[in-house]
Amino acid sequence: MHRQAVYQIFKHSDEVVLRDALSADFFRTFADTSSLPPLQVAIDPAVACLLAYRHRHTAHTPVAAPSPSFAAISLRAFPNEYARVQAAAVQQRLEQLLQQMSIYFPDYILRLVPMHYFHIGNDDRDFLNELRFSLQLPQVQVQNEILSLEQTMQTFMQANLNVGMRFHAVVFQTLLKGNNYIVDYTDPQKGKISGFLQEIGAGAFYQSRYINLQSTGAAAKELDFSTAQQVYRADDVLLRQKIALLSAALQKL
């Protein structure tokens, strides 16, 4: 039903622009594209905002180093619609991750930062406070006061370390600071997080900084924090080219 709905939306569109090539490839597996507008691949629109913010604060007003040191960790409740494993098993892995970080970074505040505050779609603070009270780790703090978009970007730029689970947490942390680790809850073969990493050419860098929560057995590895000092530098020229493609499509409308 959902696939047919997407097909009908594309069929009645003047321009079709997707945020990664994986999405386009997956769509072609179940739909005939011969009668559709060309499938164009650009990048998530949030990238334009992130590049502008990063440029402003690295070229003109650098973000001050934090004191005390902290890790910004954006986790979410595991959504049932993605589930190939039990939600309880995923929560256990997230609790183990925080315990692991509390040992590896004993002097860091582990600041749990929401990326979603609305009731529809689940307010991340509900789940983050559940984790905090379950673990009873003194390092763990929840960002309960709502942050603006700019405050959220500033938090990720200030953090000594970032960990992201929601798609836009990964996008923000990767492009604003590049000192991040990724906890992927989507399908590793066609999910949006894998698609984003491939689109920006970052797959190799994040290979040792990435876990997939739907992996089981030997594939269910832990994050390796021995690489924490390494930083990913995005190709801004490539990103701006992708933003320009999106802008050009919008200007045609």
pLDDT digits (tens, 9 = 90+) for 120-173: 888 999 999 999 999 999 999 999 999 999 999 999 999 999 999 999 999 999
At 136, the amino acid letter reads Q
pTM: 0.93
Tokens read off for 183: 């906890």
140 DSSP β-pair partners: 110
DSSP 12: T
Instruction: Provide the phi-psi class of 222: left if phi over 0, else alpha when psi is between -120 and 50, else beta.
Output: beta
Q: Could you tell me what percent of the chain has a pLDDT over 70? A: 94
Cβ neighbours, 10 Å, residue 244: 12
pLDDT for 82 beyond 80: no
What is the CA angle 115-54-177, rounded to 5?
A: 65
The three-class DSSP label of residue 97 is helix
| pLDDT bracket for residue 62 (50, 70, 90) | low
Backbone angles phi, psi at 211, to 5 degrees: -130, 150
Asked if 58 contacts 97 with a C-beta cutoff of 8 angstroms, the reply is no
| pLDDT bracket for residue 219 (50, 70, 90) | low
Residue of 165, 134, 133, 169 whose CA lies nearest to 149: 169
